[in-house]
């Protein structure tokens, strides 16, 4: 029997689509994130998803309003998972830590505490950072280069593993009669000194129930893939299609094998942005509404600081339509005619096809609700979300096809807006996924649910190698 896929919810309280917060009924106030986090966590646990995943970004600025509004103001990931530990009982909780700026001892302490407080449900996503502004926020002149960041990240993993292993099995004796609390021979220092990090230890938190929390990593550079292959339990990919995902999964498994690991021990996880409704047509209507809610402008310079890609002029430049073409005088809400579409190149034609597939709007349609407008094309081009649109069966077909093609071991589910779309996924798609045997893993800890087995005790290996 085929094992169920891994399903996690990638939590973005303002929604994963830049216009999601504008959708009627959507959460739009980060000062009330506590309430929406509780609601998401309870829905996810009731749906029997495997984990909640919290990303991170160490800076902010007004430019993010248009690009990624959910990054403008957000709860610290460690704080979020510790908060949700008290309102959940079974679901895994994965927090992101930036190894370029984080302190490894503090990270080991916080994550071991998370694992103890949740009975073995903690996980940690390690990133090296891509935001230059983060350097100034941490007292540095510049963001480290790729090689330097990954040198530190590799040492960071070693330190985490050694600190998590500070307390050996059986170290706590707690013999009231003899008055012996611990076996000091089973309390071990980290004793690590590398080029970037030096940590003494031991950790002043008891041994995590999982031994090692599951490690997550994402990236496309050779160093990133190598780190995922050698150390990650979950490797996150962002492949544009099923064939690219299948190749990426094969490469990550090969990297694991090259590092001396069982290739199957690396679980490859792909992101997915499902828009779910009772029918395919209703789901397309949701996407149609999202496209209409993307802030756009007709011409350059109409709003200070407005991205050029969010304008009709910018779109026409991108698809290389002649500067004297009649479309240059159009407005965003004008209908796009078949004659104009016939003059589009490959880029414009592809966007027309995507809009038709996701919203049902086509050039030349004779009804307002199905007529293609410039607004739809500009929004689809400016915000290239990889929607999977449809009813429960359509969404399940997508997951099933990726599994059958060997493209992924699981998925991080994004929601265009909260809570409506996440709850639609949970109430409509999840029962279909369970019926098909695609969802429904089990296990007392997150490691168990992910099928990871016992962790590799690297501290013992390191000590043996040095002796």
Q: Which 3 state secondary structure label does DSSP give 262?
A: coil
Q: Please identify which residue in the block is written with the tokens 């003494």.
A: 200
Tokens at 261, concatenated: 């690991």
DSSP E strand stretches across 258-409: 267-276, 387-390
Which residues share a beta bridge with 199? 192
Question: According to the annotation, is 150 in a ligand binding site?
Answer: yes
Q: Which 3 state secondary structure label does DSSP give 128?
A: coil
Question: According to the annotation, is 415 in a ligand binding site?
Answer: no
Question: According to the annotation, is 168 in a ligand binding site?
Answer: no
Cβ neighbour number for residue 320 with a 10 Å cutoff: 12
Long-range contacts of 165-174 (CB under 8 A, 24+ apart): 165/207, 165/211, 165/212, 165/457, 165/458, 165/459, 165/460, 166/190, 166/201, 166/202, 166/203, 166/207, 167/202, 167/203, 167/206, 167/207, 168/207, 169/207, 171/207, 172/206
Instruction: Report d(CA 229, CA 223) in Å as an integer.
Output: 10
Q: Which 3 state secondary structure label does DSSP give 97?
A: strand
Cα–Cα nearest to 189, from 463, 454, 464: 463
Question: According to the annotation, is 459 in a ligand binding site?
Answer: no
Residues making up the annotated binding site for FMN are 56, 96, 150, 221
């Amino acid at each position: 029997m085929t094992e169920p896929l891994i399903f996690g919810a990638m939590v973005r309280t303002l929604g994963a689509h830049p216009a999601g917060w504008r959708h009627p009924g959507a959460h739009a106030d980060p000062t009330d994130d506590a309430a929406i986090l509780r609601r998401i966590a309870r829905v996810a646990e009731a749906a029997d998803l495997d984990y909640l995943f919290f990303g991170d970004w160490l800076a902010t600025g007004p430019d993010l309003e248009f690009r990624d509004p959910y990054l403008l103001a957000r709860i610290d990931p460690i704080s979020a998972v510790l908060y949700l530990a008290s309102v959940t009982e079974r679901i895994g909780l994965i927090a992101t830590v930036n190894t370029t700026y984080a302190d490894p001892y503090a990270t080991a302490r916080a994550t071991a505490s998370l694992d103890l407080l949740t009975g073995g449900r903690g996980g940690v996503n390690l990133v090296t950072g891509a935001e230059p502004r983060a350097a100034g926020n941490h007292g540095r002149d510049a963001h480290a280069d790729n090689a330097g960041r990954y040198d530190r990240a590799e040492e960071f993993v070693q330190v985490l593993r050694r600190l998590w292993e500070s307390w050996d099995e059986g170290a706590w004796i707690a013999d009231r009669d003899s008055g012996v609390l611990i076996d000091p021979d089973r309390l071990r220092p980290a004793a690590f000194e590398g080029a970037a990090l030096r940590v003494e230890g031991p950790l002043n938190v008891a041994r995590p129930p999982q031994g090692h929390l599951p490690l997550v990593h994402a990236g496309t550079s050779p160093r990133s893939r190598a780190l995922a292959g050698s150390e990650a339990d979950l490797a996150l990919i962002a492949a544009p299609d099923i064939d690219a995902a299948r190749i990426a999964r094969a490469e990550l498994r090969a990297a694991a094998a090259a590092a001396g690991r069982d290739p199957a021990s690396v679980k490859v996880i792909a992101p997915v942005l499902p828009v779910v409704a009772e029918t395919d047509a209703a789901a397309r209507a949701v996407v149609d509404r999202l496209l209409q809610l993307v802030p756009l402008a007709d011409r350059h310079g109409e709003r200070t600081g407005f991205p050029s890609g969010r304008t009709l002029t910018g779109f026409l430049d991108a698809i290389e339509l002649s500067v004297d073409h009649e479309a240059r005088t159009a407005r965003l809400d004008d209908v796009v005619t078949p004659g104009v579409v016939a003059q589009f190149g490959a880029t414009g034609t592809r966007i027309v096809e995507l809009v038709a597939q996701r919203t049902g709007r086509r050039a030349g349609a004779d009804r307002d609700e199905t007529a293609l407008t410039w607004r739809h094309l500009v929004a689809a081009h400016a915000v290239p979300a990889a929607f999977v649109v449809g009813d429960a069966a359509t969404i399940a077909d997508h997951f099933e096809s990726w599994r059958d093609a060997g493209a992924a071991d699981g998925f991080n589910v994004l929601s265009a807006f909260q809570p409506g779309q996440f709850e639609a996924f949970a109430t409509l798609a999840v029962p279909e996924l369970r019926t098909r045997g695609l969802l429904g893993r089990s296990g007392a800890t997150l490691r168990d649910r992910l099928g990871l087995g016992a962790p590799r005790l690297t501290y013992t290996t390191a000590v043996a190698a040095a002796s």
